[in-house]
Amino acid sequence: MIKVFRWLLLPFSLLYQAIVWLRNRLYDKNIFKSYTATIPTLVIGNLAVGGTGKSPMTEYLVRLLKDRYTLATLSRGYGRKTKGYRTVTIDSTAAQVGDEPLQFKRKFPEITVVVSEDRVTGIKKLQDKFDLVILDDAYQHRKLKPGYSILLFDFYSLFKPLLPLPTGDFRDNLSASRRADLLVITKCPEVITEEQKAHIEHILRKYTRSPIFYTGIFYQLPLSITKQPLPDALTDYDILLFCGIANPTPLVQYLLKTGNRVELLQFSDHYNYNDTDFEKIITRYHSITSDKKIIITTEKDIQRIPVHTFETLPLYYIPIHLKTVDQQQHTFDTFIENYLKSVKEY
């Protein structure tokens, strides 16, 4: 029923597409002005709504660069209940700064993490203090002209109708991919056929000749909310998985492949949990009859869970890393390094 209803909204999708196209053209023609930072800026973004792996990409770049550059990350802080420019601390809450920036700060406490819905304001406050800024989810923020853009596409989204909102899932036109310096296909299966690559490149090569990389998700060992590892093998447990992310399918598939029995409680992306939700989760956990059971959530969700909420229950989260599927990690890194080198020489 939902899919049928979305198709009925196709006229609105065409109108939305026209408005987005016009806005981009006004920026392309310099009728709408863009601000250029005085330091290198790495912009990560996507064209579709939902999870394409922007956070793992941001974390990958932080790991790659943090020991050689004084860097900051700048995010909108989606889901926060505050406004304006704000520096994230490890004691911040997701309501104050958003779950993803809080995740960045807690994982990399040595770097500066900032949220600001106005990226230009954020950059102006940062550029005199840092060597570079990594901007998470800023591809459509055209008031800021990026130094280097990395555009992400979910692998499976490119095998579905590529339609704009509200009928489809794309918030920008595919033609916008011509602005990207690198294209990254995320959440790929372990094996990609040549036919699948040809299909993807046939779509994207209509708009850009930028390099295309294929990446997957690497799931790490579960950790408790206090970052203690799971004492036994994950395969020994029945799992209650709850999460508020755009696409939990890859995580569910991973857990099923390990041989677990998985029950899923899915919430909306960046969901703000309340006491009623926690009671529902706990009740569902107790309803599992297995003698060996566990509660699993994502690293993003754990930022929104008060430490005391599940203190008597086995709650764990699974960190994820980005991995290249086509063995081109060094080549990807070289593109980033060459951009930073060229700016420094200039």
CATH code of the domain containing 187: 3.40.50.300
Residue 113 has pLDDT above 60, yes or no: yes
Residues 51 and 147 in one domain: yes
Residue 6 has pLDDT above 90, yes or no: no
Residues 82 and 193 in one domain: yes
* Cis geometry, peptide bond prior to residue 166 (ω within 30 degrees of 0): yes
Q: What is the arithmetic mean of pLDDT over 16-29?
A: 96
Residues 161 and 38 in one domain: yes
Question: In the Cβ-directed half-sphere of 66, how many Cα atoms lie within 13 Å?
Answer: 17
CATH code of the domain containing 279: 3.40.50
Q: How far apart are the first and last CA of the chain?
A: 56
β-pair partners for 101: none
pLDDT tens sequence across 143-200: 999 999 999 999 999 999 899 999 999 999 999 999 999 999 999 998 999 999 999 9
The structure tokens listed for 211 are 């390099």
Residues 61 and 194 in one domain: yes
Number of domains in the chain: 2
Residue 1 has pLDDT above 80, yes or no: no
- Position 330 scores a pLDDT of 92
Weakest mean pLDDT among 124-128, 138-142, 230-234, 272-276: 230-234
Residues 90 and 113 in one domain: yes
Residue of 243, 221, 224 lying closest to 234 (CA atoms): 221
Task: Say how many C-beta atoms besides its own lie within 10 A of residue 266's C-beta.
Answer: 14
Residues 311 and 339 in one domain: no
Residue 50 has pLDDT above 80, yes or no: no
Residues 290 and 155 in one domain: no
Range of the domain at 299: 221-318
Residues 103 and 225 in one domain: no
Residues 139 and 73 in one domain: yes
Residues 76 and 189 in one domain: yes
- Position 345 scores a pLDDT of 64
Q: Give me the chain's average pLDDT, please.
A: 93
Residue 325: Cβ-neighbour burial (10 angstroms; 0-12, 13-18, 19+)? middle
Q: What is the arithmetic mean of pLDDT over 68-75?
A: 97
Residues 272 and 130 in one domain: no
- Position 71 scores a pLDDT of 97
- Position 325 scores a pLDDT of 84
CA separation for the pair 40, 133 (Å, rounded): 7
Residue 239: Cβ-neighbour burial (10 angstroms; 0-12, 13-18, 19+)? buried
Percent of the chain with pLDDT over 90: 81
Residues 15 and 86 in one domain: yes
Q: What are the CA-CA distances from residue 42 to residues 56, 106, 121, 180, 293 (Å)?
A: 14, 21, 16, 11, 42
- Position 284 scores a pLDDT of 96
